[in-house]
Structure 1
Amino acid sequence: MSGVFETGVRVRGWKGYTALILLWQVTASVCFYAMYAVTPFVRDEFGVSATFVGVMLTALTFGYTLFLVPVGSITDEYGEDRVLVVGLVGLGVGAAGVTLAPSYLALLGAVFVLGAFYATAMPGTNKAVFNAIPPERLNTSMGIKQVGVTAGSGISAVLVPWFGATRFGWEVAFLLATAAAAIVSVVFWAVYEASGDGGDTDSVGIRSHFRNRAYALLTAAGFFLGAGLFTTIGYTILYVEEAVGASVVFAGLTLAAAQVFGSVGRVGFGWLADRLSVPLTTSTLYILVSQAGASFLLFLAVTVVDTPPLALVLFSLLGFFILGFTGIYYSCIGSLVPTEGVGSATAGGQIALNCGALLAPPAFGYLVDVRGYATAWTMLALAALVALVLLVALVYRH
């Protein structure tokens, strides 16, 4: 664990370094996840069905997924500093572009660009954590850094519906995200110092990682967990508003609560993994099994929600597990590959999550249109069950 922690960033200790990466992640996630919070307004403004809301989310994830492989390799070869600065600037530009889309097709193009720049997030920030944080603090730091995802999504889940329900309009929230991205990118560029020149990408490329059977099994489980994670974020507001009968503001607060509990889960599970007296791979796998099992049960429970308070409680619990697993997931990935390959390994792991997100939201929306929300949530429960089976198989194999 050499690099920035020993020689680099102009902040003090692992706490200051983690805070800087967290700031970057929060800002980037506000820009990206604002698209999940704006779904009711997109549906009304462009007159599209729940299925086409899912198509929009798929366009966002497709841009994200398509650029993960090159970004992961670039991060490993040249370091994470330039990647993260350019990524945040691009996210700000993409968020502004969404507000200018004159049609649904133009919106899909702007959303694709927004997703493409978010591809810098996981390879860059995860490589930074593995380069800089001492082993005994790694899972805690990874969990704190991953809170930036849920925090950013929670912020957008509150601000976008609130501005959308006022005379200002949802576009103001996106423009505020653009301004925040510009400011934080300057701060990050001024304060952050790269960990080094990177590694040999030819020897630790994504294809070589997938030849590792443990890595392949883990990312296969990630596919199904990613389906649950991104679809939950994408449809919670619509479900609580349309099926439960709450206001759009309360629906936004429900998603925000799920994100808050997801943040607690990411830090709490990371803290637990650091304190279990077993190897890193073993501790993270045990925790992932518990998260997948709990998510399966909670997805089934969501199908019987009939009041706003119950929705708030159940989605908060669901957030703790299905939104709280990613820090442990990336720590487990990092334990299976050499440090110099964390960028590309993270990209492969994120691709697995994103592939689930490419397929699940439009499938969920289609099931909502033809069978109702109960069937759609049951589909996510089955996805969590498949992930559970794969993880249990990996535990026994390990």
Structure 2
Amino acid sequence: MTDVRPHPPTGTTSHQTPRYRWTILGVATFAQAASGFFVQGIGAMGVHLQRDLHLSTAQLGLLLSAAQLVPLVGLLVAGELLDRYNERWVVGAGASVVAVSLGLGSMAPGYASLLLVLLMVGAGYSTVQPGGSKSVASWFAESQRGLAMGIRQAGLPLGGVFAAAVMPALATALGWRATLTLGGLVALAGAAAFMGLYRRPPVHGPPQERAHQDVTLRARLRILREPPMVRIVLSGVCLVSVHSAVGVLTVLYLHEAASIGAGDAALVLVAAQGAGAAGRVCLAAWSDRGGSSGRYGTVMTCMVAVTAGMIALMTPAGHSPVAASLLFLWLGFFGIGWYGPWVAHLAESAPPGQTGFALGLAMAVTQVAIILAPPSLGLLKDATHSFTPVWGALSAMTVLALVITARGGRR
């Protein structure tokens, strides 16, 4: 991918200087954290929601899937918009939709209304993920892009950390509807910050970067057949399923299988989210050392690590409060931290002028797993009355994808 860092002449304004890229990174990270704040906190409120709304584990998982359903198409639309229009308005408008939806949802009680609100939230959030990634990729050179992308992608688990720390207490004190109001205010702050501070880099790529607009959608979808994209999608589907399991099942597993109180289990989820945020930065920075090949090697390392962690949960150690908590910290670091190097590799594998579309397309494909994983894993647990089949199924899927992608890389 072409280095599009700005090289402004003397006398340019502050937002045209290379140092402004760190402001861009900060505001993109904040917008990511703010927009995903409420959804990331649902797992921490699992015990409260099950008690107040009389939900099964599958229904709890369906709440997360509702927020991820619209992005299945919305990410493709967002990717196309990002290649045509300024990221400032595309991302800002999407974050504003998240804020308005949550604000309206706080006045509509009940499980069905909560599902509808999360569908609307997913529509708005569709622009934030690829938009923020493209914003950071356009401001940073390859030598720093992994670190920058890792910091930016840490916004999601960082939002989860604050959500897991605040939302259960708020739900206990004021009810779960109050958490929607808080989520809406946080998302609104993210929208305002991004629209107020984001600017495009002053030096853009050559005119042919926009030539893709004359290419048919069918032709552009062919990038899914390219070996790098196949590896990206397979690894993304597996690891995003593990991420979903950490978000939805950590508190329930520690409460039921390791006999940890709901409050203490929520604190472990907070720590796991924090480990994931650290992982996104550390693993992405590590991937900078080896360029594109180093980035995917880091992703494969994460696949091996999460498999080992889930296998350990199926042993007697998984029922020890201390050991189980440490294992979820491990799964948080690798099962959430993988996204930094993964999305940097994705941005660098995109065809010229199609960065937004490639980001949206790959994220849309992995979105299928984001939608299906929470209710499927919850249903599997409900049907078997055990968490072991859940960890076993995820481990087998990850190993299979690891073998396929490793062979493809050698070819």
The answer, yes or no, to whether TM exceeds 0.5 is: yes
What does residue 299 of structure 2 align with? 288
Alpha carbons of structure 1 residues 92 and 207: separation in structure 2 relative to 1, 3 Å: same
- Check 1:19–1:233 CA distance in 2 against 1; reply closer, same or farther (3 A cut): same
1:127-166 equivalent positions in 2, closer than 5 A: 127-165=134-172
SS at match of 1:93: helix
What residue identity is the alignment partner of 1:366? Answer: L
The alignment partner of 2:301 has SS state of helix
Instruction: Report whether the alignment pairs 1:213 with 2:227.
Output: yes
* Counterpart mapping for 1:241-260 below 5 A: 241-260=255-274
2-structure distance, mates of 1:133, 1:27: 23
Instruction: State whether structure 2 residue 323 is matched by structure 1 residue 316.
Output: no
Write the distance in 1 (CA, Å) between the matches of 2:374 and 2:114: 17
2:396 is matched with which residue?
Answer: 382
Greater displacement, 142-151 / 358-367: 358-367
| Structure 1 residues 109-120: aligned runs within 5 Å | 109-120=116-127
| Per-residue deviation, residues 371-395 of structure 1 (Å, max 9, x unmatched) | 1111112111122212312331232
Match of 1:237 among 251, 273, 283: 251
Correspondence list, 1:1-398, <5 A: 1=2, 5-6=6-7, 9=15, 12-165=19-172, 167-195=173-201, 199=210, 200-203=212-215, 207-276=221-290, 280-304=291-315, 305-371=318-384, 372-397=386-411
8 Å CA contact 2:5–2:139 kept in 1: the answer is yes
* Conserved? CA contact 1:364–1:376, under 8 Å: yes
- State the alpha-carbon separation in 1 of the partners of residues 86 and 100 from structure 2: 23
When residues 172 and 311 of structure 1 are mapped into structure 2, their CA distance, relative to the original with a 3 A threshold, is farther
Distance in 2 separating the partners of 1:187 and 1:370: 45
Q: Which secondary structure does the structure 2 equivalent of 1:194 belong to?
A: coil
CA distance in 2, matches of 1:396, 1:289: 13
> How far did 1:135 drift?
2.0
Q: Secondary structure at the match of 1:109?
A: helix
* Counterpart contact for 2:38–2:179, Cα < 8 Å: no
- Structure 2 gaps of 5+ residues are 9-13
The structural deviation recorded for 1:340 is 2.2
Shift of 1:333: 1.2
1:253-295 Cα offsets, whole Å, 9 max, x none, are: 111111111111111111111123xxx2211121111110111
Letter in 1 for 2:376: A
**1:396, distance to aligned residue in structure 2 (A):** 0.9
Residue pair 1:288, 1:329 contacting (<8 A) in 2 also: yes
SS at match of 2:137: helix
The letter of the residue matching 2:20 is: G
Give the CA deviation at 1:30: 1.0
Same amino acid, percent of matched pairs: 23
Q: Shift of residue 184 of structure 1? A: 3.1
Give me the TM-score of the superposition, normalised by structure 2: 0.89
Q: Structure 1: how far apart are the matches of 2:258 and 2:216?
A: 48
Q: Write out the 4+ residue segments of structure 1 that deviate beyond 6 Å after TM superposition.
A: none
**Deviations for 1:292-345, whole angstroms, at most 9, x for unmatched residues?**
011111111123422332222110011111101011111111222235211111
Q: Which amino acid aligns with 1:244?
A: A
Q: 1:6, CA displacement in angstroms?
A: 4.6
The one-letter amino acid paired with 1:211 is: R
Residue 5 of structure 1: CA displacement?
4.1
| Contiguous gaps of at least 5 residues in structure 1 | none
CA distance 1:152–1:124, shift in 2 (3 Å): same
